[in-house]
Amino acid sequence: MSVRLVMLGEVCELNPSTDFDFSENLPCTFVPMEAVDDLSAQIVKLLTRPFREVSKGYTSFAENDVLLAKITPCMENGKCAIARGLRDRVGFGSTEFHVLRASKEVLPEWLYYFWRLPETRQNAERSMTGTAGQKRVPSSYLETVKLPLPDLSEQKRIVGLLGHADRLRRTRRYALELSDTFLPAAFLELFGDLRQNKRHWAFVELETHAEIASGVAKGQKYGDRATVQVPYLRVANVQDGYLDLSEIKIIRALPTDVESLRLKAGDVVMTEGGDFDKLGRGAIWPGGIADCIHQNHIFRVRMDSAKLLPTFFAAFLRSTFAKDYFLRCSKQTTNLASINMTQLRATPMPMPPLQVQKTFAALVERHERLRACQQEELRQADHLFQSLLHRAFSSLSS
């Protein structure tokens, strides 16, 4: 197999001019940077704007051109796509795109997959110019990037394999995203819209069936009192519906505080504040980290499991009813909101029969097992794609 090592500028036009002769009101395709998805490296939504709004101050491109983000962090994140499905085969988009137009020697897909290779973008990152937050890959660098170039038939063969692996990982990711809609739908089916309460559930204040505690203040001074070092949860660990335990930090605390604040499996941990859409987010503590406590910006809610199941309460926190309550009673500043202990204790809590809660908990357990399998399938699909991508270009370059 014959493979040449060529400069990118030899086999494609970089930021070429695009011919168009449109009336000012003609609808045109528009692609802002946010329309290109980092994970799938595809244009997820083609917008439409009148030609008069996009004819100046934007980047023009044609059908089958390859769009590469040139600014940090979009470039490092892998924002790139092949422009397809454009109105009149012409589009306009962000000025932060570089445009590659393939010659007859190279497939647009070959350029696209070459840019998706992590090593390609890592090399480009070293060439970036500008100040922090505004660094860009210069055109001059792209002109001289070395590209392994087999003949067209071999490009088609390799692109076909990569395309199949890429579609597989996108399918796996879509399946995972689709499964995320199941539990909210199941919650609504079993408990109804709590804002309307057509099931006529009784409501009680949360503190009626739960013990609520705040945590240890970071940086607290203890003087000559004996302390111990223990792991603790930070706000960053508590996400909406799950815990990110990839980094658990250590804090000094009094032994008495550790004893009273030690998390137990089944506790629900909640944040006291944050962005409006993240207010009152929480998740169930699974256990597994000995003597773990929590900081004072996190509430611990320990349910009376004979009346209120953690699984039901954690799902309740994601309901529109709960989010509306927290937002109404929260202290608000610009883009931020917070709730206090009193407001959390007074949360109006619906009380479906325990058996209905157990039915929902069983659905959650089965769903989590399915989701774990889906996550593993996605991990394997991602690994396969990256392995094929690396093999395709590294073997040709050697």
* DSSP element (H, E) containing 337: strand 336-338
Average pLDDT over residues 369-392: 95
> The sheet that has 12-14: what strands, in order across it?
12-14, 97-102, 66-69, 80-82
Q: At 269, phi and psi to the nearest 5?
A: -105, 135
Mean predicted lDDT score pLDDT of the chain: 93
The predicted pLDDT at position 275 comes to 81
Cis peptide before 73 (omega within 30 of 0): yes
The span from the CA of 98 to the CA of 70, in Å, is 6
Instruction: Flag whether pLDDT at 381 surpasses 60.
Output: yes
The span from the CA of 65 to the CA of 112, in Å, is 10
The span from the CA of 60 to the CA of 15, in Å, is 9
The predicted pLDDT at position 270 comes to 95
Q: Name the pTM for this structure.
A: 0.81
The predicted pLDDT at position 1 comes to 62
Both tokens assigned to 310: 């953690």
Please tell me the least confidently modeled range out of 30-34, 40-44, 163-167, 349-353: 40-44
Helix (H, G, I), strand (E, B) or coil at 215: coil
Q: How many CB atoms lie within 10 A of CB 101?
A: 19
Average pLDDT over residues 120-141: 93
Tens digit of pLDDT for each residue in 298-345? 999 999 999 999 999 999 999 999 999 999 999 988 778 899 999 999
Instruction: Flag whether pLDDT at 393 surpasses 70.
Output: yes
Instruction: Flag whether pLDDT at 398 surpasses 60.
Output: no
Q: What percent of the chain is modeled with pLDDT above 70?
A: 99
Tens digit of pLDDT for each residue in 145-193? 999 999 999 999 999 999 999 999 999 999 999 999 999 999 999 999 9
Nearest one of 10, 79, 69 to 38, comparing CA atoms: 79
CA 308 centroid distance within chain: 31
CA atoms within 13 A on the CB side of 21: 0
Mode of pairing for the β-strands spanning 298-303 and 210-213:
antiparallel
The predicted pLDDT at position 336 comes to 87
Tens digit of pLDDT for each residue in 217-271? 988 888 889 999 999 999 999 998 899 999 999 999 999 999 999 999 999 999 9
Q: At 204, phi and psi to the nearest 5?
A: -130, 165
The span from the CA of 114 to the CA of 308, in Å, is 54
